Amino acid sequence: MVATDVALIGAWFEGQKYFQAGIKVQPIWQEQHTLLKRACLWLDAYFERKPYPMLDCLSPQGTDFQRAVWRELQTIRWGETLSYGELAKRLQCRSAQAVGGAIGRNPLSIFIPCHRVLAADGRLIGYAGGLEKKAWLLRHEQISVNKE
C-alpha cells in the first residue's frame, strides 16, 4: 500500500500488472502511518467478513475518465456484480472496452472493488491481480463464479 500524508493512493497485489503505474507523488511507506493503519484495519474487517465503512481517504490518481469509473466501482456492494457493459451504461459510455481499460488501471485493488465486474455472460475476465485472485475474492464475498 502507498499513501501520501493525506490519502491512500495505491494498493496492489504482489506482482500485479500496472504496479504503481501513474503514481506521481512521493509516497510514504512507513508502517505506522495513520492512513496505512486505517487501511489495514479495513482489510482485516473485509477478510473477516465484518461490516466495514468505506474509507474516506481514497485518492486514486488517473484521468478524469478513470476516476469516474473508479468512483462508480465503489457503488457495487459486497455480494453484487456488474458486467462491463452495465457499468459502461451507468457511466453513459459507449465503450465497455474503455471502461475495462480504466478498471484494469485501478490503483486501489479491493478498496475499489473492480473484482466485482464480470463479462456479460458472467465469466471472469480482466483482473490485473490475476483471475485466480479475482475468483477467490468473489467466492470470499459468496458470489458464485463461472471461470469458463
List residues with catalytic annotation.
114
Q: What 3-state DSSP class applies to 64?
A: helix
Angle, nearest 10°, between helix axes 96-104 and 64-73? 90
What is the b/e burial string over 55-94, where b = at least 16 CB atoms within 10 angstroms of the residue's CB?
Answer: bebbbbbbeeebebbbebbeebeeeebbbbbbbbeebebe
Do 18 and 105 touch, CB atoms closer than 8 A? yes
Residue whose C-alpha is closest to residue 46's, from 10, 79, 89 = 79
